[in-house]
């Protein structure tokens, strides 16, 4: 098993697994766990990094007329990152292209994922760097943290909710049985346009997908007691997901979504693919703050 890298302040501590640069633990000052228990009966992950795609791809990704195989959320979550920097309150993990990645994603890249704790806030930033002097780098990126449901503060599971920081007037994207984005939409489950009361029945058919999402942050927890504020200023879509009966809820800021039904075009034409210019970079960040 890979040794976890711990970072901490007086208020929170976090542990990151270099395999996948995956946030594995987030604990309060008393050691109470705020992340999933990763029960393999439901889902054995904690917070995988989604790169270079988000969501199921329709038979792979098509680059310059060639289709390359690609797993559901890309390969970053399944590869070891180098620990390129480490301190008491921060750590940086780096993944670069290799023969393995170029066989399925024919681009040079460097992905640096940094974690830093300050007070009760964990900041995570992903730098997608294009070292190529001539070729543009197309990509998608997403965060996928799974938080404990219920949080360890005594409130029952049914009392937990997610409150958006802005009114979300739009309908939700629907996901087809094969994981693609359906042409149909669903009515919003939000009370007053902002409050999602969590219940297993919401997730019988898969994730709830806001695309676009108007909010740049949500608060998760029971109305009374400590909550988590999750901020995502750089991502235009948001997924919320669990498996009914599981002990987690995922709050997933995405810059990218799965292929729409019927899509058979080039990867660069897939919704929410961004392009990093030669020898340029793009940073996508999120913060998680424990609010007592």
Structure tokens at 163: 């409150």
Please report how many Cα atoms fall inside a 13 Å half-sphere around the Cα of residue 67, on the Cβ side. Answer: 8
**pLDDT band at residue 178 under the 50/70/90 scheme:** confident
pLDDT at 100: 97
Q: CA distances (Å), 289 to each of 26, 76, 104, 181, in order? A: 10, 25, 36, 31
Residue 289 has pLDDT above 80, yes or no: yes
What percent of the chain stands above pLDDT 90? 93
The mean pLDDT of 90-112, rounded to a whole number, is 98
Domains of the chain in sequence order: 5-291 (2.70.98.10)
pLDDT at 179: 86
Q: Which of 10-24, 51-65, 204-218 has the lowest mean pLDDT?
A: 51-65
The mean pLDDT of 234-254, rounded to a whole number, is 98
pLDDT at 133: 98
Residue 263 has pLDDT above 80, yes or no: yes
Q: Distance (Å, rounded) from C-alpha 88 to C-alpha 105? A: 35
Residue 89 has pLDDT above 90, yes or no: yes
pLDDT at 234: 98
pLDDT at 59: 76
pLDDT at 13: 98
pLDDT at 52: 98
What percent of the chain stands above pLDDT 70? 100
Question: SS3 for 55-99, per residue?
Answer: CCCCCCEEECCEEECCCCCCCHHHCECEEEEECCCEEEEEEECCH
**pLDDT band at residue 1 under the 50/70/90 scheme:** low
Structure tokens at 33: 């766990």
Q: Which of 51-55, 58-62, 238-242 has the lowest mean pLDDT?
A: 58-62
Global confidence as pTM: 0.97
138: nearest Cα among 105, 116, 166: 105
21-55 tens-digit pLDDT: 999 999 999 999 999 999 999 999 999 999 999 98
Residue 2 has pLDDT above 90, yes or no: no
pLDDT at 111: 99
Residue 56 has pLDDT above 90, yes or no: no
Averaged pLDDT score across all residues of the chain: 96
153: nearest Cα among 23, 246, 29: 29
Cβ atoms of 237 and 256 closer than 8 Å: yes
Cβ atoms of 57 and 258 closer than 8 Å: yes
């Amino acid at each position: 098993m890979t040794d976890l890298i711990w970072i901490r302040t007086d208020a929170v501590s976090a542990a990151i697994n270099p395999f996948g640069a995956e946030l594995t633990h987030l604990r309060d000052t008393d050691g109470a766990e705020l992340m999933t228990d990763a029960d393999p009966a439901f889902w054995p992950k904690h917070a995988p990094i989604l790169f270079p795609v988000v969501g199921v791809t329709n038979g792979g990704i098509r680059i310059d007329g060639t289709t390359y195989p690609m797993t559901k959320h890309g390969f970053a979550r399944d590869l070891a990152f180098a620990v390129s920097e480490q301190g008491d309150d921060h750590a940086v993990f780096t993944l670069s292209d290799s023969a393995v990645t170029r066989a399925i994603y024919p681009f040079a890249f460097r992905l640096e994922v940094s974690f830093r704790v300050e007070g009760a806030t964990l900041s995570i930033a992903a730098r997608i760097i294009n070292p190529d002097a001539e070729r543009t780098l197309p990509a998608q990126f997403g965060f996928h943290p799974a938080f404990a449901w219920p949080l360890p503060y005594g409130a029952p599971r049914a009392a937990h909710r997610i409150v958006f920081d802005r009114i979300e007037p739009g309908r939700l994207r629907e996901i087809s049985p094969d994981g693609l984005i359906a042409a149909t939409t669903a009515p919003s489950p939000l009370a007053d346009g902002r409050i999602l009361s969590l219940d297993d029945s919401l997730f019988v058919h898969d994730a709830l997908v806001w695309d676009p999402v108007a909010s740049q942050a949500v608060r998760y927890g029971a109305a009374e007691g400590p909550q988590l504020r999750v901020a995502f200023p750089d991502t235009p879509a948001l997924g919320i997901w669990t498996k009914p009966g599981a002990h987690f809820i995922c709050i997933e800021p995405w810059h990218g979504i799965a292929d729409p039904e019927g899509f058979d075009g080039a990867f660069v034409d897939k919704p929410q693919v961004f392009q990093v210019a030669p020898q340029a970079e793009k940073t996508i960040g999120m913060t998680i703050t424990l609010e007592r």
